[in-house]
Amino acid sequence: MLKTMHGVIASSGGEPIAWNVQNGVDVNSQVDVTGSSTSISGNDFSPDGVYMYFISTSGKRAHRWTMGTPWNVTTAVDDGIGKSLSFSSLNVDSLRFDPTGTKLFINESSFSSDINNINQYNLTTAWDVNTGPSSPDASFSIFPQTTFADHFNFKPDGTKLYSYSGLTKIVYQYNLSTAWDVNTMSYDNVESSTTSSIFPESTAMNGFFFKPDGTQCYFNGGFTKIFQASLSTAWDITSMVNTGQEFDYSFVANEQGLTWKPDGLRLYVTYGNGYINQFDLA
């Protein structure tokens, strides 16, 4: 049974539920987006939970779906908004928006050094990917730190970007001297290993996400688990340690993206074969 302690939703034992991945519950809630693509990656949402976004990796296209009930993917429908994009790489794994919805960021990665980039697309109408260009307005190469960067996340103020490599199993930190402008990015010379030392049982991580206060980080594991790490110093990835908390959803595989609802009570996993699942914490 849930109860409220000082405004915080907690279990009957008093432990906070939000952002605690071991409280994940499979409620078999998913949306089938195979009508748009059978090969997808990444996911992101508008702050009000009305719009859901993902990438068609085969069609190189950013898609938007609208949810009749905010934050409930089972109510999502294709609203016909999408944008074909120009990429040099076959691997397009993540997309993120700035808080205003006027900047879209997509990574592309490969084993070739010249196409491992964070690309920025400026939208003339917020949250409408149709109003952005096909080619990026700005781009930053994350080589030589890695030659295969799968997923990335921003610090909420847009001054830091964190890129995760499925090849090196490392999180890399970058600085943006102007918030949300990849033209001003530079490598911070800060990194933290993940699967090699924190999650040794997993051979791959296919998505990661930070709690907005920077004290927790979550990884999609290669064994269809979500692992939780704690940062003793907020946003300091060198202080990351394994909490031992995990959520096992081993009935599925080919996970390719991870995002949380802002209240920390629901998480979303993208599966590469064309499905996005949501899991509640209870």
Domain, as residue range, for 8: 3-281
| The residue to which tokens 């998480």 are assigned | 267
| The residue to which tokens 């409280």 are assigned | 23
pLDDT at 2: 39
Which residue, 51, 27, 54, is CA-closest to 40? 54
Sign of CA dihedral 70, 72, 76, 82: positive
Model confidence pLDDT, tens digit, residues 41-62: 889 999 999 999 999 877 788 9
Per-residue pLDDT of the chain (282 residues; tens, 9 = 90+): 333 333 334 444 446 799 999 988 877 789 999 988 878 888 999 999 999 999 987 778 899 999 999 999 999 999 999 999 887 666 777 899 999 999 999 988 776 666 788 999 999 999 999 999 999 999 998 877 766 667 899 999 999 999 987 777 788 999 999 999 999 999 999 988 665 666 665 556 778 899 999 999 998 876 678 889 999 999 999 999 888 888 887 656 677 789 999 999 999 998 878 899 999 998
pTM, two decimals, is: 0.90
pLDDT at 109: 76
Rounded distance, CA 66 to CA 225, Å?
A: 28
Q: CB neighbours of 125 closer than 8 A, spacing ≥ 6?
A: 131
Domain of residue 76, CATH code: 2.115.10.20
Six token digits for residue 23:
């409280």
pLDDT at 6: 32
Contact 18, 281 (CB under 8 A): yes
Count of domains observed in the chain: 1
Contact 23, 30 (CB under 8 A): no
Torsion of CA 93, 132, 35, 264, to 10 degrees: 60
| DSSP code for 18 | T
Six token digits for residue 131:
């109003």
Q: 236 by DSSP, 3-state: which?
A: coil
Contact 107, 119 (CB under 8 A): yes
